[in-house]
Amino acid sequence: MLQYIVRRLLGLIPTLLIVAVLVFMFVHLLPGDPARLAAGPDATPATVALVRQDLGLDKPLPEQFIRFATGVLRGDFGRSLRTKRPVSTEIAERFMPTMWLTVAAMAWSVLIGMAIGTLSAVWRNRWPDRVGMTLAVSGISFPAFALGMLLMQIFAVQLNWLPTVGADTWRHYILPSVTLGAAVAAIMARFTRSSFVEILQDDYIRTARAKGLPETVVVVKHGLRNALIPVVTMMGLQFGFLLGGSIVVEVVFNWPGMGRLLIDAVDMRDYPVIQGLVLLFSVEFILINLIVDVLYAVINPTIRYR
């Protein structure tokens, strides 16, 4: 098991390295001179030269990359061009609201999605299946930003049950996490259903039924456990979807998280913040996938020896 984890960790290094190079190159791919960008539009040539020297932009690219990479490893992403504060501080303030939003969305969507998927599989081609799958295909087709606006209009503006924007209390989390999780719940429902339908046709399910077990025991004990194995891997992928999706949802609900920060930074061309956030989002995603793969190996031993 340990060997498997170590092997997977080593396998991540090239990917992480390429991601870091891409994020580093980002500044140089932007149109225009990064030093001028950092110095601001009204800076004199002398100031620009000074900024260039200060940020090390006059050094050869490999040297700049090493400087960037060692900085990142120490948690130093440079300073925001807009607020002049360290990027790490900017991001740290915004980290938890996004984290909790994603976790809340993940929790409800996985539970509801798996429940709908299971019910649909058990009552395949009957009305619970039709209702469940209609909901699911609608869920993946409704864009999050439109759903967010609609929910806000109904529950916050018309009915006045829930707050519109901000992230102060748990009530603030309801609408954004429902918006963010809807598509994931839909995907989980579809995936669980197809996984379950396949399992329910297996021989051991027939055996369990043949020996006279009640249908509930067959479904829960023999079916659910095995159907969940592929569903676990799916969860990892969906977490990435949530991280990406949170960017749009945070814009709708004016959420004080990393997604909102990213869009503001893109608007302001505040590239150190963009770099820091893009790197953080992707590293988070890569690590979550690693954890999911390890969990998968715990559930299913055959993976480890492949």
Partner 1 sequence: MTTATVPLTSTASVRTPWTEFWRKFKRQHAAVIAGVFVLLLVTLAILAPWIVPYDAENFFDYDSLNARPSWKHWFGVDPLGRDILSRLLMGARISLTAGFVSVAVGAIVGTVLGLVAGYREGWWDRIIMRLCDVLFAFPGILLAIGIVAILGGGMINVIIAVAIFSIPTFARLVRGNTLSLKHLTYVEAARSVGASDWTIVMRHIFPGTIAAVVVYFSLRIGTSIITAASLSFIGLGAQPPTPEWGAMLNEARSDMMTSPHVAIFPSLAIFFTVLAFNLLGDGLRDALDPKIDRR
Looking at the Cβ atoms of 95 and 241, the one nearer to partner 1 is 241
Closest separation in Å from C-beta 144 to partner 1: 7
Looking at the Cβ atoms of 123 and 142, the one nearer to partner 1 is 142
Looking at the Cβ atoms of 88 and 246, the one nearer to partner 1 is 246
Closest separation in Å from C-beta 22 to partner 1: 7
Closest separation in Å from C-beta 241 to partner 1: 5
Residue 86 main-chain phi, psi, to 5 deg: -60, 140
Looking at the Cβ atoms of 208 and 258, the one nearer to partner 1 is 258
Looking at the Cβ atoms of 133 and 218, the one nearer to partner 1 is 133
Closest separation in Å from C-beta 240 to partner 1: 4
Closest separation in Å from C-beta 74 to partner 1: 22
CB atoms within 10 A of CB 67: 15
Binding site for partner 1 (CB under 8 A): 14-15, 18-19, 22, 26, 29-31, 137-138, 140-146, 149-150, 152-153, 157, 187, 190-191, 194, 239-241, 243-245, 247-248, 251, 262-263, 266-267, 274, 278, 281-282, 285-286
Question: What is the three-state SS of the chain?
Answer: CHHHHHHHHHHHHHHHHHHHHHHHHHHHHCCCCHHHHHHCCCCCHHHHHHHHHHCCCCCCHHHHHHHHHHHHHCCCCCECCCCCCEHHHHHHHHHHHHHHHHHHHHHHHHHHHHHHHHHHHHCCCCHHHHHHHHHHHHHHHCCHHHHHHHHHHHHHHHCCCCCCCCCCCHHHHHHHHHHHHHHHHHHHHHHHHHHHHHHHCCHHHHHHHHCCCCHHHHHHHHHHHHHHHHHHHHHHHHHHHHHHHHHHHHHHCCCCCHHHHHHHHHHHCCHHHHHHHHHHHHHHHHHHHHHHHHHHHHHCHHHHHC
Looking at the Cβ atoms of 102 and 218, the one nearer to partner 1 is 102
Looking at the Cβ atoms of 88 and 195, the one nearer to partner 1 is 195
Cα gap 180→242, rounded to integer Å: 7
Looking at the Cβ atoms of 6 and 150, the one nearer to partner 1 is 150
Closest separation in Å from C-beta 46 to partner 1: 28
Closest separation in Å from C-beta 67 to partner 1: 21
